Structure 1
């Protein structure tokens, strides 16, 4: 048996590159996106009642993951990238059908001329991600306080984030241009320490991620046994910033 899945819409996201995206949804509340739907799935009546829900399940396709030979074991970033476990024990994108599932906050059901689109936040979705389906989050059934996962028992430990004065000014200017609050978004993303965990923090190394049409560049600082991030610049994309990309 085989099945064909038809995307019902697409994600318009602040995340224009894979590196730096939260490894789970809900970890960056300032991350906002819009779910746009294709006809005939954009009819407002199909979303009637959804405004009574605070959160949604979004089913999607990992569209930028290259399909290859099935790999039964993967190396999750959560485990430092140096321990392999079964793919079905992870949320890695290299799955047999590249299907993803995320819980997001529903901020608004926007209806114009009989067509609907959804404003969401707290997401982990790359710009252009195909949407397969959405479903309401049902707290009494979906929130299971007795559940456990010893592989990922707690949220990531957060590290301090600071801005250089030029970066702070650039961030404020670009926030005004884009109509988006960039500083809290950048702080929430970098506090999760997006570098590959097998790499040691190196003050001499520069990292960058893309948000909207921006390159956000930073380096690490070390103080004794602790470390943190300093944002160096927030600029419109150029080719002279060497990006670090992630395989997962």
Structure 2
């Protein structure tokens, strides 16, 4: 068996997350998040996306570029389980895998044809960091990709989890209006590592050019400060 294969980066994601902290743990959890997929020069031929505008959703296949490491472990600690319970790596979506590849289903808002960048895909609900390498794009086919009867294993117990967000109006006004809904959704998903529960600890989330600082106590996330990133 040939153990090595060559995979080309065909595009990059551009979005409001400059670091991986705070990125939703799955695609679709925060539908208001916006991003663009910009193709590498070699793949900017408009013919390559002909017909894609007819699909409402697409699959992005991408690299966990911030989680590439030597070797792998058969067991990982899913964050939603508190960081102490071990599960098989192939029963999770952990980035620490034999091949650091991610898969996300996102909404395709529109296909733009830029005179300088070629076709640009505008998407919603992605769980990727700015600059994430995209390896492939495929249309989402609801007739075969959707399985309403599917069972989600141990992950089902965490469906619907969300924090209450207390974001003072004077601080919320610091955030551009077209980014507020997405930021509120990100904060409600609880960006903290699951093993950290100190109510006095202050966290910082880099989003859309701002450092959003917050604390969490008794299920309520309270924003303390919003500082422009320099």
The 5-angstrom pairing of residues 205-244 of structure 1 reads 205-222=201-218, 227-237=219-229
Give the alignment partner of residue 128 of structure 2, picking from 125, 130, 149.
125
Q: Which residue of 2 aligns with 1:196?
A: 193
What CA distance in whole angstroms lies between the structure 2 residues aligned with 1:31 and 1:156?
18
Give the alignment partner of residue 167 of structure 2, picking from 137, 140, 163.
163
1:198 deviates by 2.4
Q: Which residue of 2 aligns with 1:245?
A: none
- Whether the aligned pair in 2 keeps the contact of 1:166 and 1:232 (CA below 8 Å) is no
The 5-angstrom pairing of residues 1-248 of structure 1 reads 1=2, 2-113=4-115, 115-153=118-156, 155-171=159-175, 175=176, 181-200=178-197, 202=199, 204-222=200-218, 227-237=219-229
Note the alpha carbon deviations across 1:61-115, whole angstroms, 9 max, x for none: 0111141221111001121111001111111111111111000000010013492
What CA distance in whole angstroms lies between the structure 2 residues aligned with 1:220 and 1:164?
15
What CA distance in whole angstroms lies between the structure 2 residues aligned with 1:151 and 1:60?
25
What CA distance in whole angstroms lies between the structure 2 residues aligned with 1:165 and 1:50?
40
- Whether the aligned pair in 1 keeps the contact of 2:71 and 2:98 (CA below 8 Å) is no
What CA distance in whole angstroms lies between the structure 2 residues aligned with 1:81 and 1:132?
29
What CA distance in whole angstroms lies between the structure 2 residues aligned with 1:121 and 1:17?
18
Unaligned 5+ segments in structure 1 are 239-248
Task: Give the structure-2-normalised TM-score.
Answer: 0.93
Q: How many residues align?
A: 226
What CA distance in whole angstroms lies between the structure 2 residues aligned with 1:83 and 1:229?
25
What CA distance in whole angstroms lies between the structure 1 residues aligned with 2:160 and 2:135?
29
Unaligned 5+ segments in structure 2 are none
Q: Tell me the secondary structure at the aligned position of residue 135 of structure 1.
A: strand
What CA distance in whole angstroms lies between the structure 2 residues aligned with 1:38 and 1:66?
21
What CA distance in whole angstroms lies between the structure 2 residues aligned with 1:69 and 1:221?
38
What CA distance in whole angstroms lies between the structure 2 residues aligned with 1:126 and 1:211?
10
1:201 deviates by 5.0
